[in-house]
Structure 1
């Protein structure tokens, strides 16, 4: 089924409203999440000389912006939720762009890496090729995209006030390779648990061309 422009606007608006209304509790609930494995996965694949210019796509309250900045990189955040943008600017001191994920306006060949942690699953599947194309275009040649998403059986819909698309590895690979990326690695999280207890699929990709 094709989602109409009105439906896409509703998906975007209601998902942002969910996060806007729960911004404080979200910040408190995620402040201590350890994503060092994911940050390291992005950084070890970026080529060139540090410091790198990195976009935290869906930066939320700014937790990971502070980490990238603290490591000496130039970190730029992007989020669609106004309250998150305010929090991230205040807490990290970094530049943060307020943009709807379905209406991006990004510079060409600007970033060495993109950190998309727990965010791309909010993009409806029909819009994902376009959004991935925009992320590819804002990466420098051979730039690197990290993404982590809750995995599933390629279904999508509403879940507790948020819209989500839940892909398996094969489907995600197809989206990414079609968009012009090559796979560098993938793994499941949390580490050290059986696969059926690892709901997150993390993967790292290089821009081709």
Structure 2
């Protein structure tokens, strides 16, 4: 973490402890999520990309590589990103894809490179105070008109520790405000799992396009 100050220490602790949880539970996480059906989410990302396939896709928080394998089987170039060292090793082995180990709080991404970004069950780990910076970094890595998919457990715009993991839980209005501020326009949203009453749908999924106009400058935040 470059240029760390004392004010960065709470962020360092959040990142360190959350990643340590996933490293310690990598095998059980893989076993528990291997058969999760996220085809609805994958389809939501892909149908909004306007470029000609195959697409170059970034799977943010790729975990053990389940969705990297799916994107690759569909003929796309998929690159993974995760901060947990064990997940990175597992994803490389399972998918055969290029996988970058990075702290999502400080992403280092090539500009204008990706047609789409798949952020499935990961961005809720980013504290709200640095989420605008992270979203703008993701936006900058998209090609003009590129698409970002996100799915997060929803809440009432509160955040804090849940065991050894940190989470920020936004409602639709709060998430819309954050995404629009970062330079995205909404394409669609829905709640998961499908076919259940809203109170039994804890996940908010949404799809966004990189706007042509720039995001709000940092000095106006």
Q: Measure how far apart 1:78 and its partner are.
A: 0.1
TM-score (norm 1): 0.98
Q: Measure how far apart 1:4 and its partner are.
A: 2.6
Among 190, 193, 196, the alignment partner of 1:193 is 196
1:136 to 2:143 alignment = no
1:74 to 2:77 alignment = yes
Q: List runs of 5+ in structure 1 lacking aligned partners.
A: none
1 CA distance for matches of 2:163 and 2:9? Answer: 21
Q: Structure 1 segments of 4 or more deviating over 4 A?
A: none
- Map residues 97-176 of structure 1 onto 2, 5 A cutoff: 97-176=100-179
Q: Equivalent residue for 2:215?
A: none
2 CA distance for matches of 1:49 and 1:141? Answer: 14
Among 200, 206, 211, the alignment partner of 1:203 is 206
SS in 2 for 1:187: strand
Q: Equivalent residue for 1:53?
A: 56
2 CA distance for matches of 1:180 and 1:31? Answer: 33
Q: Equivalent residue for 2:26?
A: 23
SS in 1 for 2:43: helix
Among 97, 102, 107, the alignment partner of 1:94 is 97
SS in 2 for 1:4: helix
Q: Measure how far apart 1:197 and its partner are.
A: 0.4
Q: Measure how far apart 1:103 and its partner are.
A: 1.4
SS in 2 for 1:60: coil
SS in 2 for 1:188: strand
2 CA distance for matches of 1:179 and 1:143? Answer: 14
2 CA distance for matches of 1:5 and 1:48? Answer: 39
Among 43, 46, 67, the alignment partner of 1:43 is 46
TM-score (norm 2): 0.93
